[in-house]
Every structure is written in C-alpha cells, then in structure tokens.
Amino acid sequence: MFRKTMRIALAAIIPAMCLATVQAKDFTVKSPEGKVTLNVSAGDKLTWQVNLGEKQIIAPSDISLTLYDGTVWGTGVKKAKGKITNVDTSFDTPFYRRAKVVDRYTLLTLKCKGYSVEFRVYDDAAAYRFVGQTKGNIKIKDEYAEYNFTGDHKVFVPYVHNLNRGDRYSYSYESLYDEQNISQMFADSLSTIPVIVDLGGNVKATILDAGCEDYPGMFVKKNPAKANSICSSFAGVPQGVNLMPGKPATFKTQSYKRGDYIAETSGSRTMPWRAVVVTSNDADLANCDIAQKLAAPCRLDDTSWIKPGRVAWDWMSALNVTGVDFKSGMNTDTYKYYIDFAADYGLEYIIIDDGWCGSDLFKVNDNIDLKAIVAHGKEKNVGVILWARWEFLLPVTEQAFKHYSDMGIKGFKIDFMDNDDQLMMASLRDIAALAAKYKLVVDYHGAKAMSLHRPYPNILGFEGVMGLENCKWMPNISENKKNDFPRYDVIIPFARMLIGPMDYTPGLFRNATRGQYRPVYDLPMSQGTRVHQLAIYSIYDAPLQMFGDTPSEYYKEHECTEFLAAIPAVFDESVVTSAKVGEYIVSAKRKGNTWFAGALTNWDARTVDVPLTFLGEGTYKAIIFSDGVNADRKASDYKRETIRIDTAEPLKIHLAPGGGFVAVLAPVR
C-alpha cells in the first residue's frame, strides 16, 4: 500500500516539475572574473537577478516594455533562445579621466519574437536593454524596470523638488541627496538618477541608465506595489510642441501636456540601457567607467579640433572686477580683462554668459563689441564661448552656429532645457551634431548627462548637478541642514559623476567655515576650506573646467591660482585610492609623467593616508597644498610646501572640517 501511494504521488509531482521546466528558462551568466553573477528567468515574465559573489544585490525583478497596441516585450518569453558571448575590447577616450577604457564583459542575448534583450555582465556592473526588430515605427506606451532588494536598505536619493512649467518631469537635475531607507522614500516623489543603495558592509548598488537618444531618460520612485523596491518612471511625449532645430520651439508653456506614451520611434533600434553598478568598496564605485562603456561609439570622423580646457567664467561673481580703470560689467573692456587673465594663467577659454544678447541671438548687447573681443582672444590664444538659452537657440541653431563659428567663437554653453523626454533628448543630440559640423564645443546646462559625450565628444560638459553657483542664494547650514556642500561634494563623485562629465563651477576663493558661511549673490563664498576648492579640480571630471571667481580675486591669490592653472582638464590615467560615500575621497590622476593627487572631506576633520604605489619606484618632487593649522577657524588658511617624497611610504594628510588636500607630483630625473 505504501509503494502504491508513493507511485501515485510521484506521478502527480513529475508532470508538475516538467511543466515548471517548460514554463521558464533560466540563464546564468558570470562576469569575466566571476565577481558578478546574472540570473535571467524567461517564462511568463522576464526577470533578472544580480549577485555579487554569494550576496544577492538585486532580487528577481521584472523587465518589460509595452507598445501602444498592447504588445508587451518581456512576457511570454519561455521560448526565448539565449546566446552567451565573451567580449574583451578597449576604446580611446581622449576627453576623459583616462586615455583608454578597457571594456570586458559577458554578453547574454535573448532572442524573442519581434525583439531581443541584451544583458551585459561586468565585474562591477550589470545592464540590459531591449533591441527592436520590427519594421517601420512603433509607439511605446511605457517601459518598466524594477530593482527589488532583500532588505530595507539606506538610499541616497536626489529628489525632484520643484515642478518647472507645472510638470513633474520638467526639472533642472540639481538636487542634494536625501539619505533614508527605501521604506521612507516619499511615495509621491520622483527621483533623478543615479541613486545609490547601501546594502551594508561597504556593498553598494547604484541605479542608472545610459545610451539615451531619441528616448526619455529614466526617473525612479518608491515601488507602490512591492516592499524594498524601486521602479522606473518615464515622461510622456509632449503634445503640440516642436523641438526640431530650425523650427520655433513651443516648449516653454504653462499649459504643458504629455501624451499617454513615452516614445514614437523606429521599431528596429536599440533602446537605452538600464544598469546597476555593483561594488564592494566605494573606491571602485568612484573608479567605474560604466557610462563610457554603455554609450554609443564616437560618430565624428575628426576630433582633432576639439579642445578641452579651463574657462574664466563671468556669471558666478557678477563680473565684479576691481583695481581697473574701467567700469566693470557686461562690456567689452571687462571681457578683454577676462581674456588677459586667462592668457596670464594659460586658460584656454572665457565664457560670455547671460546678458550679451536677448531672445534674438543675432542682436548683441550695445555694450559688447563681440568681434573685438574675439580678435583680442585670438591674439592672446584664448577662445570665446557664448551662453544661450536653449529655446532661443533652437529655431536658429544652424544659422547661429555658422554665423558665430565664422566670427571665431569656439563653442556654446546651452541652458534651461530642464527636461529629458524623448523630444528633448533628440534635440540635444541634433544640436551636438550641428555644433560638430561647425567645429563648436558644447556645454549643456539644465540637462542631465545622458551618454552623448562619447558619440559627440564635442560635448565637453553637462551640469545636472547642484553646482557651486547655488552658494549665491542658498541659506546657511544652521538654517537648513540640507544645504551642506562639503558633504554633497563627497557624494557626487560616486553618483552624479558616474554618468558623465560634471560642470560643478568650482573655484571660489572667499572660503567660509560652517558657521561663517552666508549667501552673497554678487560675491559668493564657498563652504569649506581653500584647499577643498583646489582639490575639486584634481578630483571632479570636467573637460571644460570653470574658474568661477573673479580675475581680481585670482590675481590677489596668485600662489593658489598659479597652482590651480597647472591642473589639466583631462587626464591619461585615474585611480581612487580610498573613499567612503558622503565622508571622503582620495584620488590621483596622471597627465603625461605628472600626477595630480587630491582629497576631500565632509565637515568631519580626519587624517587620511595617500598611498603612492601608483607612482611606481623612484623619487618625486611634490608641490603640496594642505589645510592650514587654523583652517577650522579661518577657512582660507592653507600651507604650501615643496618636498621630495619616497614612493614606498604613503603621505599622511590631515584634513580640516570641510577640508582638502592637493598635490602635483613630478618625477625627479
């Protein structure tokens, strides 16, 4: 009787097991060195799971894309065919923090009906994207990406905190970080990305997207349907507006409406990547090159004309130059003075910001002789970049680019896009391509970095960060503890900087301790020490790096300015030696044979070791700027010294509250 019962039970179990096998195929893919494991389950739904070693980082999470006709990519995929490929390549990155990026990953391609899904597994990341294989155009109603976690982990969340044009998706991408658990995330709020999730034990999962072109960027939010989960949200396509270069823009309206779909596009194209960076120490997170790896290759046949560099910028300190025999302001004499300053310190550019023209880009302010300024810059080997509002530039893009390129202008800083829906993303791509046609560099403000800087390396910078210019108006920390720039300064290298070059606009020399800081609009001060400001130039990625204070201030502080002007805008090699998100970072970058080491801390004083193993053997001459012994009381206090160092021993550096350290290290021959 017992054997008969067992036979009946087994007869019932075996078909169920076979059915489960038929319903879902499981694919397991390991990164090149086996650090990260991806598990993909293809059945009624498509899910992905990411492990770091034995630790589960992303629990099984749904992936789907829904077309307007009701077709869903990512469901009913049990017949999907998988192919695994090992990729080991590299590519040049001459406008970055390293000259070459090694790109090694394991690729899983799932072939489905009418589309495929590509998964890449790196030793520090995993990513996927949908690839359409349908003729003609498709309308995409929505895309769903979720990131499920096994616990209620701490997150660093850059919330959307104001509604431009009354639209929750229209935003300048300038946010400080709320630090809270997933369960505490505001249910009604969107967040920009990257978002860092702290799983404890130094393990971080950082959510981002990449490769966005002619497709909306991804926002994220607390998942209303699942605990310990974060999910995607995308802007609908704007209705009744035009964003094509050469046509009047009708974007800036209060009656802004979005359609019930997120994109209308080719059915045979790659969609953007959804990625998670997975690291067991924070130095690896700051070292990660994922945005470069997931971007499209360079589309310019000739990049020899593209010139990264440092910029004397006028707007931050409101053209307040002193000790001169002319009235400072938006006029020719002031900009010639800026050019003279740039030439004195070897800076490559100046920017003429808001005020040189109005809504008509061809009607120049009567006080500005633009041709004379450009001629003076040419004589001094200093290029001129013009600021322009995006909506004023858009209808005349090609005419303006040709006109000002013919005049000798070297680039445009384009501002106030405040959006990354499909039409805006297409607009920014097309503007970059037109700029390249006329050999103009571009700096995008009011926009999130979106991986366009690799296909169009004439894009030398993006804002999308709570830049130092906010010190012009943000109240003291004692009034609002969120306005904590030194802490923010040691979060963004791990988050915002992960997705592309960052126009943070540093360089203020009116430095303030925590209690002394206050907003001063025309002559702003920075939070933290003088050396904190200097160190930013060696740590932050900015191929178009701003000098945000006035030439008068820089001349007065010649020693610091001379040192700052020696730091390049791009590098050949980069390494982060130690770091902790929100606390400190220590890094070093090489240009030629010279290394530039730097460190930043939050408001906590600390002593850090700067290991010199990256230098190799030998003796180096070091010019060092460190916080002065009284920098905790007078933030501008610093110490400069020149020493010879033995690379076998680390440098031990004391950082004052809100402090920094920076050094130029050159081999002794």
- The token duo for 303 is 């990049």
For residue 64, which amino acid is it?
S
User: 635 near 534, Cβ under 8 Å?
Assistant: no
The strand ranges marked E within 211-255 are 219-222, 229-233
Helix (H) or strand (E) holding 385: strand 383-389
Rounded Cα distance between 585 and 34, Å, is 27
User: 248 near 266, Cβ under 8 Å?
Assistant: no
User: 195 near 230, Cβ under 8 Å?
Assistant: yes
Rounded Cα distance between 615 and 617, Å, is 7
User: 602 near 493, Cβ under 8 Å?
Assistant: no
Cα 272 to Cα 117, 350, 444, 500, distances in angstroms: 11, 35, 20, 15
Closest by Cα among 558, 607, 566 to 589:
566
Bond before 194 cis per omega within 30 degrees? yes
145 contact partners, CB below 8 Å, separation of at least 6: 61, 63, 218, 231, 232, 274
117: which strand partners?
A: 110, 130
Q: CB neighbours (10 Å) of residue 367?
A: 14
Q: Which residues are catalytic?
A: 415, 469
5 contact partners, CB below 8 Å, separation of at least 6: none
- The token duo for 396 is 């005349």
User: 204 near 282, Cβ under 8 Å?
Assistant: yes
Phi and psi dihedrals of 183, rounded to 5? -65, -20
Phi and psi dihedrals of 57, rounded to 5? -95, -60
SS3 344: helix
Pairing of strands 638-646, 619-627: antiparallel
Longest dimension (CA), the chain: 111
Q: What angle do CA 587, 590, 593 make, to 5 degrees?
A: 140
Closest by Cα among 487, 491, 478, 529 to 508:
529
Pairing of strands 273-279, 309-313: unpaired
Pairing of strands 511-512, 526-527: parallel
User: 444 near 485, Cβ under 8 Å?
Assistant: no
Cα 121 to Cα 27, 104, 159, distances in angstroms: 12, 9, 29
For residue 124, which amino acid is it?
D
Question: Can you say whether the dihedral through the CA atoms of 169, 172, 178, 181 is positive or negative?
Answer: positive
Rounded Cα distance between 219 and 234, Å, is 6
Pairing of strands 660-667, 619-627: antiparallel
DSSP letters along 526-584, please? Answer: EEB-HHHHHHHHHHS--SEEEE-S-HHHHHHTHHHHHHHTTS-SS-SEEEEEEEETTTE
Distance, CA of 487 to chain centre? 17
